[in-house]
Structure 1
Amino acid sequence: MADITLYDLPGCPFCAMVRTKLDDLGLDYDTIEVPRSHRNRTEVQEVSGQTGVPVITDETTGVEGMPESSDIIEYLEETYGDDAA
């Protein structure tokens, strides 16, 4: 089991951008496919407080339920990219 988990919806362009960044950085991650219906997205809601995707968790750094693709991509770059501290 990887430290990073991505809550994902196939066909979601914002999820695809996050998957691409994870792959570009060579990071191992698990994917949890959420239901298409927001009403049935209880697991992602428990993690992030909302039903939108993408959402990630990262056990390495203690991130629990980070939403918004642009925030996730920025976080991944800052944490795991070439210029990461």
Structure 2
Amino acid sequence: MADITFYELPGCPFCAKVRTKLDDLELEYDTIEVPRSHGERTQVEEVSGQTGVPVISDEAHDVEGMAESDDIVEYLEETYGGA
């Protein structure tokens, strides 16, 4: 099991942006696809307090339920970009 868990909805452009960054950085991660209905997204809501995606958790850095694609991409770049 990877340290990073990525909650996404297939076809979501914001999720695709995060997935691209994860792949560009060659990070290992687990994916959880959330249901299309917000009312059924209990798993991501438990982690982040909201039903929107994308959301990531990173056990290695005590990050749980980070939302907003721009914030996630910035976090990944700062944490794993090596720049």
- The TM tier, using the shorter chain, reads over 0.9
Percent of aligned pairs with the same amino acid: 78
**Aligned twin of 1:22:** 22
TM-score computed with the length of structure 1 as normaliser: 0.96
Taking the aligned partners of 1:10 and 1:72, their CA distance within structure 2 comes to: 17
**Aligned twin of 1:46:** 46
What 5-or-longer segments of structure 2 have no aligned partner? none
1:36-64: CA deviation from partner (whole Å, max 9, x where unpaired): 00000000000000000000000000000
Q: Which runs of 4+ in 1 moved over 3 A?
A: none
**Aligned twin of 2:68:** 68
Larger helix fraction of residues: 2
Other structure's SS at 1:53 match: coil
What 5-or-longer segments of structure 1 have no aligned partner? none
- Give the count of matched residue pairs: 83
**Aligned twin of 1:4:** 4
Please give the root-mean-square deviation of Cα atoms over the aligned residues, in Å: 0.4
TM-score computed with the length of structure 2 as normaliser: 0.99
